[in-house]
Structure 1
């Protein structure tokens, strides 16, 4: 039987990481519509970036799994005090080791981009949010001392501590026994919402990124990318297409015959599904075949969970309390 309090005292750390916070800010900038709480900040910053910077931002995002591959890369290095330390560690990484993580990226280009982004844009925001991040580290450490079970559902509605297990309710459920883990590290972030981000790149050392609220207003909106996807699948024909294309790829001609529709109607449906990345296409000879993007389809449930986890009423109650 694991004694939760003593286990947490021996195996759990709470760490403020400015470099990781910068990486998560870049994730938000790459898809601001999905991160409603940070949408005003992201839109303002993007308006200040030039076209070359934005183009490189999205190129790196595309080739690094939405910047999360950089989070994996961070798994095996210790705490840094300054953002520049993380950048220099990346610059000092052996070229072969770098290519294992980022086969389609150039190290010098990445490091130069990160340095310029920090100096020109991120440093000011980090100065503003750092007190909240540092305070959160202190508060979470105190909570762990008092009763680690309070972390369950407090850090995130789908983060659970039950019995001798820690559970993450994501697209698939991840469950770990405390006896199988050597450590858990918690990282506060003002950019992570609405995600429940768990880094298990090192399987015995789990890293959890949790949201820290900051004193700023944000619009009560449904993320535009989620709304677009829900609108795309709200049509009966498109929903059937997604189902059928999950099991077999079809070309436009085959779909026309299958659903007894005109070619232009089928093409229009496919165009809508393509715009949301719910279907992927591949040319095979003369024909272009379409298939459902299962990963994107499964992400819908996650995105819905994330939206439902943080209702607007929480925000209203907080404002009443502060007022």
Structure 2
């Protein structure tokens, strides 16, 4: 994954905190504690403390943070005519979210329905019947609650926008205000350190401090940041339509995820983790051998990446990878036999998802690679 920064002034590269972006990762850790072994205690205690009404509403909208990290949580990147800066408070971040138009809001909220065209864009489900039908079909595969939410969003985005804002505000009251009070000092200190590193030693050194997976490349083809992720995507930090700029946002909850917002028409954002918690002990030699043999194929590596972030049907995976459904089924069977893939049925759909706990026991390097 690369970010074009040719001609970008260094002062347009900023490190800053974002309460709304941090809430996104906190909600993800609540929904997927297996992605975050070091946070299981916090996730269990926080989930147990939630009231029934709030827990139900979080379950209804958890596709915004469980399977993908919705760009709604970094609205500062999409605001037209703005400075591309995150809010200092959660309320300010929410005000920026209100400034997104309905097209931006809906396309970001339904990111799960457009993963195959995320980097290139596509017709809006608000105005295109085919895109609308596709969004509803994909939502139905993930259960009646998500299907109902998607239908409400497409019918009345204004009402759902108000519902989402109230949900975030209730999360703040229930648990996040205390969380932010605890972590914001550490995040702010990291921002100051990285900003000073950028000023004194340059971007290459600052990138090394952000993640060993990020490097600066400069050659005859231009100047770019490259991230070592299992994805083939490009972004630009010099889009005049939205305004030049690149933002780095640290997170207490993110590890092992290194996220890069690369939606067309939005400023790119690098959301990076602080710290690397301990993982469980490795599996037996016999299990290790079986699983490594299962992973010794580039297609199965890509299947692990896709199913680590979201449960998918065979047809969805075939569409994402550009393969036939029978070929994808054969690779899924190998991964399932090795105990790396789990399945569950939703109506007439069978969903496949990576068993993150099994992968974490296999290799922390592999887990970090597919979830990065």
Same structural fold, with TM-score higher than 0.5 when normalized by the shorter chain: yes
Q: Are 2:179 and 1:120 aligned?
A: no
For structure 1, the residue ranges without an aligned partner over 5 or more in a row are 224-229, 259-265, 312-323
Q: Distance in 1 between matches of 2:108 and 2:236?
A: 28
**Residue 15 of structure 2 contacts residue 247 of structure 2 at CA under 8 Å; is this kept in 1?**
yes
User: SS at the partner of 2:250?
Assistant: strand
- Separation in 2, partners of 1:8, 1:127: 33
Q: How does 1:93-242 map to 2 (within 5 A)?
A: 95=102, 97-102=104-109, 104=150, 105=153, 106-147=160-201, 148-163=203-218, 164-174=223-233, 182-202=244-264, 205-213=267-275, 220-221=279-280, 234=291
Pair member with larger Rg:
1
The answer to whether residue 46 in structure 2 is matched with residue 39 in structure 1 is: no
- Provide closer, same or farther for how the CA distance between residues 18 and 63 of structure 1 changes in structure 2, counting only shifts above 3 A: closer
- CA–CA distance in 1 between the matches of 2:78 and 2:41? 33
The RMSD of aligned alpha carbons is 4.7
Equivalent residues of 2:215, 2:225 under 8 A apart: yes
Which residue in 2 is equivalent to 1:307? Answer: 364
With over 3 angstroms needed to count, the CA separation of the structure-2 counterparts of 1:219 and 1:57, relative to structure 1, is farther
**Aligned in 2, Cα 1:152/1:310: closer, same or farther, shift over 3 Å?**
farther
Determine the structure 2 residue equivalent to 1:90. Answer: 97
Task: Give 2:77's aligned residue.
Answer: 75
TM-score (norm 1): 0.65
Does structure 1 conserve the Cα–Cα contact (< 8 Å) formed by 2:77 and 2:268?
no
Change (3 A) 1:183 1:122: same
Alignment counterpart, residue 248 of structure 1, candidates 318, 321, 325? 325
CA separation in 2, counterparts of 1:178 and 1:98? Answer: 21
User: How far apart in 1 are the matches of 2:236 and 2:101?
Assistant: 34
How many residue pairs get aligned? The number is 269
**Runs of 5+ unmatched residues, structure 2:** 80-84, 111-149, 154-159, 304-313, 319-323
How far the C-alpha of 1:69 sits from its partner, in A, is 3.6
**Contact 2:64–2:70, Cα closer than 8 Å, also in 1:** no
Between 1 and 2, higher relative CO (CA 8 Å, sep ≥ 6) is seen in 2
> In the TM superposition, what is the alpha-carbon distance from 1:95 to its structure 2 partner?
4.9
Q: What do the CA deviations read for 1:81-102 (whole angstroms, capped 9, x no partner)? A: 2112223443565556533433
Q: CA deviation at 1:75?
A: 1.9
| TM-score using structure 2 length | 0.57
Question: In structure 1, what is the Cα distance between the partners aligned to 2:18 and 2:230?
Answer: 26
Deviation at 1:142, TM superposition (A): 0.8
Contact 1:167 1:173 survives alignment (8 Å): no
Match of 2:342 in 1: 275
How far did 1:43 drift? 1.9
Distance 1:50 1:99, change over 3 A: same
